Chain A
Amino acid sequence: MRNPWAQTGNYRTSYEQDTTIFANYREIVSVVLLLVALCLLPLFLERSQVLVLNFILIYAIAVLGLNITTGYAGLISVGQAAFMGVGAYTVALAAPSLPFWLTIPLGGFVAAIAGFIVGIPSLRVKHLYLALATLAFQEIFVWVVGRSPALAQGAAIPVEMRNFLGLEISFRNHNYFWYYIILFVLVLMVIAWRNLLRGKYGRALIAVRDNDRAADAMGMDPGRTKLFAFALGAFYGGVAGGLLAYMQRAVVVEEFTLARSVTLLAMAIVGGLGTVVGSLLGPAFMKFLQIYVERLSEWMKANPFIQSITPAGVDVASALLPLSFGLVIVLFLVFEPRGLYNWWRLLRSYFRTWPFKY
């Protein structure tokens, strides 16, 4: 037997080895080290920096779900923010009477039911037509919330949790508390994601994505698989929305609009469709891009020279964020369609084979 610590490649000789979650011990160690680092990270950060991390991790959960629907099953969805919204509003309505560890999964389940219903058109339509069906759901969601007095017509519904097992949750520890909860949920969701995709359901998703008629001929049920993909992707979205509701202390409909759905799709593309690492890198990249472009916009707006060379009536600083956003997506699609995940893969490969090239 080869020394597992000195292994330089994959030497899989059985089906079981091929479906393991970790290819070798080094991967286990690196994941454990990453988790330890993530657990220790808030100790070195300010509260507001932890808030940014919380947003990234919540979006990562939503993007994981999108990666099931779009990345694995190949069903384009521009309604992921609406699924988040379904989860968030479920949590907002249930929070006064249920503890958070029940409301968050409940949010996921209600979103999964919505996902199942939204997925029904996927039995008949594909590609752009399906994207339009999900777009319709996104708009219907915002419309329904805006006209529902029970949902405050889109205005804020407070979602508060002041105490957990005797620990008082206040402004000082709110972001830290929710960081660890979100991290825990994310780890669970990633494990579930990996487990799913190495099993027969995961392979069915890929088969249906690549050729649903061939998958049907091989005994899979493409219809059920597509509905399953939508429901599961929506479940992830619902859980992310529930966490967002608690983290932001209130739910407002503005968080769950089409723009947010497009942002989530962009995060999935930039990170790398159909990958766990991409689901983490995409949200992080887009969030930091936004923060730094915001600083640049502020600088441009305050800089007299920039203002003097800009034609009257043209607001370059305002255009900078959507411009950079669109540009990043286009550049990734053209030059790196496999997303940031591919850079991560190349980097890892470089260190694994160092000092050799291959």
Chain B
Amino acid sequence: MKRGFVLAMMVALGLALAQGRTVNLLWSGAITGPTSDVGGPYAAGIEDYCKYANEQKLIPNVTLNCIVRDDQYQNPNTQRILEEALDRAKPAIYLGYSTGAMLQLKPLINEVRLPTIPASAHIGLIEPPHNQYMFLPVSSYSEQFVALLEYINRTKKNARVALVVNPSPFGRAVVDVSRRAAARLGQTIVDVREVGGGNLDNTALLRALDAAGVEFILHQNVAGPVANILKDAKRLGLDKKIKQLGAIYTGGSDLIRLAGDAAEGYLWASSYYTLDENAPGINLQKQLAQKYNRSADILNSTNYTAGMLAAAIAVEAMKRAAQRFNGRIDNATVYQALIGMNGPNAFKPGFAVSTKAGIEIDFTRTEQTGAEGLRILEVKGGKFVPVTEPFTSTLFRQVRNP
């Protein structure tokens, strides 16, 4: 009788251990409301990668619970959702979203020591103060802009450039560093204009920039306003005269869908592989989109890739934390795993291009940017195709700080 009882207890214990425990991952962002065209696919990428991670048991003996919440692009909601999760779910890692909310939450994130991977690549997130737990999955907007200026310098010396940025901290983040980089490269920043959504007629803007002798327009924005400017440039016959380029959230399938053939020739800085390329991450993306019945719009979105990459980094960090710390997965061990993700331990999921050293994603305590390699892609025949090999901005680190 006694032996039977002990046996039953051991079986129950074994079953419980086999079932493992649950670790929480939190993402909150704009699934609805402003910028939901970015947030929706990004959230889908995280959800799908989480399902895949659980099905494949990527973290042995652990069930991953991905809490995906809609903050409607409102900072008080983002704060509430994060604090709710800290109270109830105690996430081991936080995947954030918007620039404003992330900048606002930096002190809180630093205080609770929660490793955070935001969708926003604002340089201010990884700059002091309170930057210790922030990790950008790809290069910052500022680095992308300096890389674009370097690319321009390769094709045209002493170029005359205009910056067209979103009227928000997200847009303005690139202005100062671009001025410093342009000065080093002998380029002239002719004008800096702020353009937000609802820019239905950009004739005055384009005529003024043309009159000022602008040869290149650099965009730091979302796809909608850029598409309108591209269409107006084509209408005014300026599409051949002024070359337009932009950072990560300006491009992708959304831009081509919105701008149509006016997008032809647009140059885009991106760290991600395109859907036409044969990369392990992209193949997984196609496979998961089909498996979880995602629409073509979501599959084609770079933001779906971006969401998957963020989730992949988080899951890998959790897995490594479990391996290094005897199965302990919490904010402290995940942080250690993240800052140890470098050198031979760099992560290579195949969503983003690698640097010349063959490194796709790496972090250290002080270098909080994941994918530092990027390429310039150009719209040709209704598709973005790479026109450069992967490279890392050499100038950015020299001009990052004034």
List residues of A whose CB falls within 8 A of some B CB: 46-48, 51-52, 55, 146, 152-156, 158, 160, 170-171, 175, 248-250, 252-255, 290-291, 294, 297-298, 301, 315, 317-318, 320-321
Interface 1/0s, chain B 121-143, versus A by CB < 8 A?
01010000110000000000000
CB distance from B249 to the nearest CB of A (A): 17
A152 CA to B175 CA, complexed, in Å: 13
Determine whether the beta carbon of A48 is less than 8 Å from that of B86: yes
Cβ 8 A contact of B172, one of A146, A156, A249, A255: A146
Determine whether the beta carbon of A51 is less than 8 Å from that of B80: yes
In the assembled complex, which residues on chain A have CB atoms less than 8 Å from the CB atom of B72? 294, 297, 321
A291 CA to B76 CA, complexed, in Å: 11
A252 CA to B75 CA, complexed, in Å: 9
In the assembled complex, which residues on chain A have CB atoms less than 8 Å from the CB atom of B36? 315, 318
Cβ 8 A contact of B79, one of A51, A153, A298: A51
A52, A155, A156, A170 — most chain B CB neighbours (10 Å) = A156
Comparing B99-107, B211-219, B337-345, B357-365, the segment that makes contact with chain A is B99-107
Given contacts A160-B107, A254-B75, contact A48 B84 (CB under 8 A): yes
Determine whether the beta carbon of B167 is less than 8 Å from that of A250: no
List residues of B whose CB falls within 8 A of some A CB: 31-33, 36, 69-70, 72, 75-77, 79-80, 83-84, 86-88, 99-101, 103-108, 111-112, 122, 124, 129-130, 167-169, 172-173, 194
Q: Give the top 3 A-B pairs by smallest Cβ distance, nearest first.
A: A156-B103, A155-B169, A318-B32
In the assembled complex, which residues on chain A have CB atoms less than 8 Å from the CB atom of B104? 156, 248-250, 252
Determine whether the beta carbon of A320 is less than 8 Å from that of B83: no
A46 CA to B124 CA, complexed, in Å: 31
In the assembled complex, which residues on chain A have CB atoms less than 8 Å from the CB atom of B77? 290, 294
A153 CA to B88 CA, complexed, in Å: 35
Beyond known contacts A155-B124, A158-B107, A175-B83: 18 more, CB 8 A cutoff: A47-B87, A52-B80, A152-B169, A153-B169, A153-B172, A155-B99, A156-B100, A156-B124, A156-B169, A158-B130, A171-B112, A248-B75, A249-B108, A250-B105, A301-B70, A318-B32, A318-B33, A318-B36
In the assembled complex, which residues on chain B have CB atoms less than 8 Å from the CB atom of A290? 77
In the assembled complex, which residues on chain B have CB atoms less than 8 Å from the CB atom of A153? 169, 172
A254 CA to B35 CA, complexed, in Å: 14
A301 CA to B111 CA, complexed, in Å: 33
A170 CA to B70 CA, complexed, in Å: 27
A301 CA to B108 CA, complexed, in Å: 29
Determine whether the beta carbon of B32 is less than 8 Å from that of A154: no
Q: List 7 A-B contacts (CB under 8 A).
A: A146-B194, A249-B108, A252-B100, A254-B168, A255-B75, A315-B32, A317-B31
CB distance from A264 to the nearest CB of B (A): 13
In the assembled complex, which residues on chain B have CB atoms less than 8 Å from the CB atom of A156? 100, 103-104, 106, 124, 169
A195 CA to B105 CA, complexed, in Å: 38
Determine whether the beta carbon of A250 is less than 8 Å from that of B79: no
CB distance from B77 to the nearest CB of A (A): 7
Given contacts A55-B76, A252-B75, A321-B33, contact A298 B100 (CB under 8 A): no
B76, B105, B172, B173 — most chain A CB neighbours (10 Å) = B76
In the assembled complex, which residues on chain A have CB atoms less than 8 Å from the CB atom of B70? 294, 297-298, 301
In the assembled complex, which residues on chain B have CB atoms less than 8 Å from the CB atom of A170? 111
Determine whether the beta carbon of B112 is less than 8 Å from that of A154: no
In the assembled complex, which residues on chain A have CB atoms less than 8 Å from the CB atom of B80? 48, 51-52, 55, 291
CB distance from B300 to the nearest CB of A (A): 15
Residue of B nearest to A154 (CB): B169
Determine whether the beta carbon of B172 is less than 8 Å from that of A154: yes
CB distance from A151 to the nearest CB of B (A): 11
Residue of A nearest to B31 (CB): A301
Determine whether the beta carbon of B32 is less than 8 Å from that of A301: yes
A170 CA to B87 CA, complexed, in Å: 14
Cβ 8 A contact of A254, one of B83, B100, B105, B122: B100
Residue of A nearest to B71 (CB): A294
A317 CA to B104 CA, complexed, in Å: 26
A31 CA to B108 CA, complexed, in Å: 35
In the assembled complex, which residues on chain B have CB atoms less than 8 Å from the CB atom of A252? 75, 100, 103-104, 169
A343 CA to B194 CA, complexed, in Å: 47
In the assembled complex, which residues on chain B have CB atoms less than 8 Å from the CB atom of A51? 79-80, 83
In the assembled complex, which residues on chain A have CB atoms less than 8 Å from the CB atom of B79? 51, 248
A199 CA to B124 CA, complexed, in Å: 50
A290 CA to B111 CA, complexed, in Å: 28
In the assembled complex, which residues on chain B have CB atoms less than 8 Å from the CB atom of A152? 169
In the assembled complex, which residues on chain B have CB atoms less than 8 Å from the CB atom of A55? 76, 80
A253 CA to B129 CA, complexed, in Å: 19
Residue of B nearest to A304 (CB): B293
A320 CA to B31 CA, complexed, in Å: 12
Determine whether the beta carbon of B107 is less than 8 Å from that of A249: yes
CB distance from A171 to the nearest CB of B (A): 5
Residue of B nearest to A153 (CB): B172
CB distance from B303 to the nearest CB of A (A): 15
In the assembled complex, which residues on chain B have CB atoms less than 8 Å from the CB atom of A249? 104, 107-108
CB distance from A43 to the nearest CB of B (A): 15
A155 CA to B175 CA, complexed, in Å: 13
Determine whether the beta carbon of A155 is less than 8 Å from that of B103: yes
Determine whether the beta carbon of A46 is less than 8 Å from that of B88: yes
CB distance from A57 to the nearest CB of B (A): 13
CB distance from B83 to the nearest CB of A (A): 4
